Amino acid sequence: MTELPEEYYREKYRPQFHFSPPEKWMNDPNGLVYHQGVYHLFYQYYPDDVVWGPMHWGHAVSSDLLHWGHKPVALYPDALGYIFSGSAVFDKNNTSKLGTSEHPPLVAIFTYHDPEKEPLGNNDHQTQGIAYSLDGGLTWEKYSGNPVIDNKEFADFRDPKVFWDEEQSQWIMLLVAGDHLRIYSSPNLIEWTWLSEFGRDQGAHGGVWECPDMFRLTTPEGEEKWVLLISINPGGPNGGSATQYFVGDFDGIAFTSDQVEVKWVDWGTDNYAGVTYNHTPDGERVFIAWMGNWDYAPKTPTQGWRGAMTLPRTLSLCRSNTSYELKSYPVNAFSKLRNTIRVRREDLPGESRFQTSNFNAAEIVFKTTLTDQKWVFSNAAGNSLVIALYAKTKTLTLDRSNSGVTHFDPSFTQAVQIAEIPHLPEEPFEVRMILDACSVELFLNEGQYTMTSLVFPEQPFTKLSVYGNGEGLQPSFYGIGRVW
Ligand code: FRU
């Protein structure tokens, strides 16, 4: 491997252990597929500017979901349009006949967005196309018969998620059409039949539905359920973009759910368009999302590059009282990046104060019960990030109004972010906070409730003041090794 220069990935706000593009604009994760020991991460990419533009699929690979190697751009726009979000599968049995039985293909399924047709208003500018790779995902050939699903009906018709349905021996495609989900099936990834729709009158509808995903999870009690993820923009619980989920059943044709309440994968402002890997070892359900929000994404104060992904998270399902809850928690391998850091502690009346050289790439873990408490990160520049738990209202809040550079868009500090956390256990639960250059990810009770938020302090935070938790608090502090 060639030596990387010392300054590589050292720019201000550059994540040290989250994925971010080498340069220019990135949004959604795409084509998440594990194949022959490699996790592929494709992503919405505009290689010519730091704002959204004609979409390509950028590409990176990893063997552990944490250390990534950049690969050349995988998919370029063509006469049918830009390459919007989608997924990828390993067509093991060469059902598509795009490879051979000895060399079956990887197949990417994506939305074509035609920018010339869009302004004409005929609802025919988003169609679905496929491409295939015979060299393990490095280079891609578009299928000559594209589009494989045409469209003259929906202005928004995109983000295909395809997976293999073992029970019915069929490929399933999920597509979103504005305000609802549509499900299709295919024997060969090329001919698709429409099966069913879901959601016109269920769930949150404050904005357009995007980036669906659906998979089976088993609760610790052994109950099997299907979980449907739907990103929605705007209409998130704290403004702009967010991802809701439904717990229900899928019979090979239709998804049904009797869920009445709206549920959120993550309560923060910056966890969007998240989807999961196909074909992971042991069927682990690994989720990656874009740490961004369409309300202000093109204006964030980074230079030369823009956009980062969440940590890869393992999803699981638990049941509390009558309700199912989707947990999302950093993949196990993440803990290997921990190293020890020196933290000075002072216990003052009403405050436990922890100081270190910086919390730029750091993790703080402790146990607590649901009592009123406040955690304030601050620095010598006078910036502060305030996170709080409230027992009476059963809420977690995050206030970034004085957290540093915030002026780039009023929506960034419009309101304190609030998460509803009704079903935490009575006994002490874990609080885990992970900070990386321009982000904070909060995990309560191993991901039962999560909040992901961008934050741009003028200097790294050096101090954490904890109020209301007393001297009994015994946090562990870790530095997180950089992966770039
Ligand atoms: C979600 C999204 C998708 C679309 C892509 C375009 O953030 O709007 O619906 O495919 O981004 O870049």
| Mean pLDDT, residues 393-406 | 98
Give me the amino acid identity at 419.
A
Of 25, 28, 52, 161, the residue with max ligand 1 atoms within 8 A of its CB, to mutate for a pocket test, comes to 28
| Mean pLDDT, residues 4-25 | 94
Instruction: Give the domain CATH number at 49.
Output: 2.115.10.20
Residue with tokens 């990893």: 62
Find the domain containing 473 and state its range.
335-480
CA 85 / ligand 1 centre spacing (Å) = 6
Do both 369 and 394 map to the same domain? yes
Domain presence at residue 17: no
Nearest to 29 by CA among 315, 240, 311: 311
CA 272 / ligand 1 centre spacing (Å) = 10
Sign for the pseudo-dihedral over CA of 331, 446, 247, 217: positive
Last residue in a domain, options 287, 309, 330: 330
CA 231 / ligand 1 centre spacing (Å) = 10
**Minimum mean pLDDT range among 114-118, 207-211, 465-469:** 465-469
pLDDT for 2 equals: 58
Do both 427 and 441 map to the same domain? yes
Percent of the chain with pLDDT over 70: 99
Domain presence at residue 8: no
CA 111 / ligand 1 centre spacing (Å) = 9
Do both 193 and 60 map to the same domain? yes
Give me the amino acid identity at 274.
G
Instruction: Give the domain CATH number at 347.
Output: 2.60.120.560
Last residue in a domain, options 285, 307, 330: 330
Domain presence at residue 1: no
CA 394 / ligand 1 centre spacing (Å) = 33
Residues 483 and 475: their CA atoms lie apart, in Å, by 24
* Tokens coding 346: 């002072």
Maximal C-alpha separation, the chain: 72
C-alpha dist (Å) from residue 172 to 30, 161, 316, 339: 17, 8, 22, 43
C-beta 310 within 6 A of ligand 1:
no
Domain presence at residue 218: yes
Q: Which atom of ligand 1 is nearest to the CA of 111?
A: 10
> Mind giving me the DSSP string for 355-396?
E-S--TEEEEEEEE-S--EEEEEE-TTS-EEEEEEETTTTEE
C-beta 85 within 6 A of ligand 1:
yes
Q: Which atom of ligand 1 is nearest to the CA of 241?
A: 7
Sign for the pseudo-dihedral over CA of 232, 234, 237, 239: positive
Among protein residues, the one with the nearest Cα to ligand 1's atom 6 is 84
pLDDT for 89 equals: 98
C-beta 87 within 6 A of ligand 1:
no
Do both 323 and 178 map to the same domain? yes
Do both 311 and 442 map to the same domain? no
Q: What is the mean pLDDT of the chain?
A: 97
pLDDT for 294 equals: 98
Residues 75 and 146: their CA atoms lie apart, in Å, by 14
Query: Residue 1 above 60 pLDDT?
Result: no
C-beta 44 within 6 A of ligand 1:
yes
The residues that are catalytic are 28
What is the domain count for the chain?
A: 2
C-beta 295 within 6 A of ligand 1:
no
| Mean pLDDT, residues 352-369 | 97
Do both 81 and 66 map to the same domain? yes
Domain presence at residue 366: yes
Do both 346 and 406 map to the same domain? yes
Q: What is the pTM of this model?
A: 0.98
Do both 40 and 78 map to the same domain? yes
Of 26, 30, 44, the residue with max ligand 1 atoms within 8 A of its CB, to mutate for a pocket test, comes to 44
Do both 396 and 252 map to the same domain? no
CA 342 / ligand 1 centre spacing (Å) = 42
Do both 192 and 53 map to the same domain? yes
Query: Residue 369 above 80 pLDDT?
Result: yes
Residue 147, preceding bond cis, omega within 30 degrees? yes
Residues 220 and 325: their CA atoms lie apart, in Å, by 12
pLDDT for 306 equals: 98
Sign for the pseudo-dihedral over CA of 303, 307, 313, 319: positive
Strand partners, 434: 363, 441
Per residue in 41-76, pLDDT (tens digit) is 999 999 999 999 999 999 999 999 999 999 999 999
Give me the amino acid identity at 442.
L
Do both 137 and 194 map to the same domain? yes
Domain presence at residue 363: yes
Give me the amino acid identity at 460.
P
Do both 166 and 90 map to the same domain? yes
Per residue in 305-358, pLDDT (tens digit) is 999 999 999 999 999 877 899 999 999 999 999 999 999 999 999 999 999 999
C-beta 159 within 6 A of ligand 1:
yes
pLDDT for 333 equals: 97
Pair 453, 439: CB distance under 8 Å: yes
Per residue in 244-282, pLDDT (tens digit) is 999 999 999 999 999 999 999 999 999 999 999 999 999
pLDDT for 400 equals: 98
Contacts (Cβ under 8 Å, ≥6 apart) of 305: 11, 14, 20, 21, 22, 23, 24, 25, 26, 50
Last residue in a domain, options 330, 365, 389: 330
C-beta 462 within 6 A of ligand 1:
no
Nearest to 287 by CA among 38, 18, 27, 29: 29
How many other CB atoms sit within 10 Å of the CB of residue 53? 16
Domain presence at residue 126: yes
Report residue 411: phi and psi, to 5°.
-65, -20
| Mean pLDDT, residues 360-375 | 97
| Mean pLDDT, residues 190-194 | 98
Per residue in 217-237, pLDDT (tens digit) is 999 999 999 999 999 999 999
Residue with tokens 């099997």: 224
Of 43, 83, 158, the residue with max ligand 1 atoms within 8 A of its CB, to mutate for a pocket test, comes to 158
C-beta 83 within 6 A of ligand 1:
no
Nearest to 324 by CA among 236, 224, 235, 241: 224
Domain presence at residue 12: no
Residues 266 and 76: their CA atoms lie apart, in Å, by 32
Count of all residues that appear for the chain in the document? 484
